[in-house]
Homo-oligomer: A and B are copies of this chain.
Amino acid sequence: MHILLTNDDGVFAPGLRALRKELLRLGDVTVVAPAMEQSGVGHSITLLEPLVVTQVEDVDGTRLGWKVEGSPADSVKLGICELMSRPPDLIVSGINSGSNAGINVLYSGTVAAAIEGAFFKITSIAVSLELSEHFDFPHAARHASRVIEKILANKPANGSLFNVNLPAHSRGEPRGIRVVPMGLGRYGEGFERRQDPRGRTYYWMTYNPPYHFEGAETDVTSLSEGYITVTPLHFDLTRYDAIPDVRRWKWDDGPSSQ
């Protein structure tokens, strides 16, 4: 099996390196990842600038793969289309330093890289580790690779897409694995307003996620209870249930008749 490994924290990030070590038990691993941290880039792609690509080696001189001066999605696209000798059988993105659960999934470069893989009909798995004071990536990578092995053992259809979150170490050993939908609630974001020395106003984004979660069991609630979460995703944003209604709206005296 040939695995393309990427992330949004940069090619040398410890989360990626730890996961690579575990994935090497499953097959060949080619790293194609951003040169620099890309947190919060979402599903950005680079259209207006060239993508500089450099081969990178590990500390011991063995070949690691490529770093791309672009986004996680750029890295996956380039990896599949240009850099790898044949398309990978699996794309893994992570381990991200920080969870990607709830609506944060839409901001996540880690998940975007996996979605990009699914565009190519390649099974893709995003892996993120909840924030804590200390990240034990080797430990998280062992859990992550076991989840990945379980997913693969069930032979998902090509292009299947999974979002995996691992609870923070501060919560203790994971209590198990839960297959849950993504949470849809808004986080408690806000802004801190400041003035620069020249009197210009600027804002820092702050995050104060609500401590209590109400309603259904989701990735957000299960993670906060110490479970590893697995969420099958798709990238079809169509709200199909609304289409019949919206089609019945009166459209026909519209622009076409002007």
Contacts and interface: CB of A to CB of B under 8 A. Distances in A.
B146 A181 contact: no
Interface in A136-161: 142-143, 146-147, 150-151, 153-154, 160-161
A258 B146 CA distance: 10
A175 B256 contact: yes
Given A52-B201, A77-B205, A150-B249, A47 B40 contact: yes
Copies of this protein, total: 2
Given A203-B50, A205-B45, A240-B181, A176 B40 contact: no
A232 B242 CA distance: 7
A31 to B, nearest CB: 17
A87 B14 CA distance: 41
A interface residue count range (under 10 / 10 to 19 / 20 to 34 / 35 or more): 35 or more
B181 A255 contact: no
Contacts of A233: 237-239
A231 to B, nearest CB: 6
A51 B191 CA distance: 10
A204 interface: yes
Contacts of A193: 82
Q: Do most interface residues of chain A lie in helix, strand or loop, or is the interface mixed?
A: mixed
B239 A179 contact: no
A106 B205 contact: no
A196 B49 CA distance: 13
B45 A43 contact: no
A231 B235 contact: no
19 contacts: A39-B48, A51-B191, A51-B203, A51-B205, A53-B202, A74-B205, A77-B189, A81-B189, A106-B112, A143-B258, A146-B255, A150-B254, A173-B258, A176-B255, A177-B251, A228-B254, A232-B239, A233-B238, A234-B237
- Nearest 5 Cβ contacts at the A-B interface: A42-B43, A176-B256, A232-B242, A181-B238, A42-B42
